[in-house]
Amino acid sequence: MKKRAYTAEEIRRLLDQVRSLRHEGLTVSEACLRLDLAEQTYYRWANQAAKAEKLAEDSMPSAASSELEELRALVLKLTIENHRLKQMLK
């Protein structure tokens, strides 16, 4: 049997289809059988996808925290300006 090379998009689509079939009450084995996908291949792809998501989440906090600091500084600046303008109106 010749090995089939799947694109990243095909892998995402198949993983989503297995998850959808699982929500319908099928087991992983039944879902893989219905999609003509080896169960071991599904588990390998699911594991790789989980690792990729974890890496993306781990790298996100540093970017999110720097953005959060910028937003906090902006809020502080606007609050001070707002207070100053209110004082001018009195």
Tens digit of pLDDT per residue, the chain (90 long)?
Answer: 467 788 999 999 999 999 999 999 999 999 999 999 999 999 999 999 998 888 776 776 676 778 888 999 999 999 999 888 988 887
Does 61 reside within a domain?
Answer: yes
Does 1 reside within a domain?
Answer: no
pLDDT at residue 32, as a whole number: 95
Does 54 reside within a domain?
Answer: yes
38: containing domain: 8-89
DSSP 31-66: HHHHTT--HHHHHHHHHHHHHHHHHHHHHHHHHHHH
Count: domains in the chain: 1
Does 3 reside within a domain?
Answer: no
pLDDT at residue 54, as a whole number: 81
Does 72 reside within a domain?
Answer: yes
